[in-house]
Structures are given as C-alpha cells and as structure tokens.
Amino acid sequence: MEGSLKTEIYEVDPFTSRKDKLLATFDSDYRFERQDELFIEGAKPLKVRVISVVVRLSGGEMQRELLVMKL
C-alpha cells in the first residue's frame, strides 16, 4: 500500500505511561491522533484510547507506535 506506515499498538501502564505489551501490528495510511478510540478484535475484544503517537525515521523507513490505554 503506497504511503502506508508500519504501525504497532502498545498498551501502556496507566500510572507510569511506560510502554508494555504489544497488542497489534499492521500497515495503515490512517492519521492516528491523540484521543482516538480503537476496537481491537481478537480472542478477547478490547477498546483502547490513543494517548501518544510516536513516528520514527530509521534508514529511510518510517514506523509508527501508538501508545494506548484500555478503556
């Protein structure tokens, strides 16, 4: 997909905001923003809120991390 970024979603500790468990990885061209709410479907569906978006540029490749809290 042209213009898409590798996106990783990490759960964070609600008290320290430290990155914890990797919840999902996918490619997307969607512009995620703070306060966006997402539903992650799987064995146990999960609703999360984006608290931070981190974009990294390394070796000419961009990657994005979404730090989220469970709702």
pLDDT digits (tens, 9 = 90+) for 41-63: 988 899 999 999 999 998 888 99
Please write the tens of the pLDDT for every residue from 9-24: 999 998 887 899 999 9
DSSP state letters, 32-46: --TT-EEEE-SSS-E
Q: Could you give the number of structural domains in the chain?
A: 1
| Domain extent for 47 | 5-70
Does the reported pTM lie above 0.85? Answer: yes
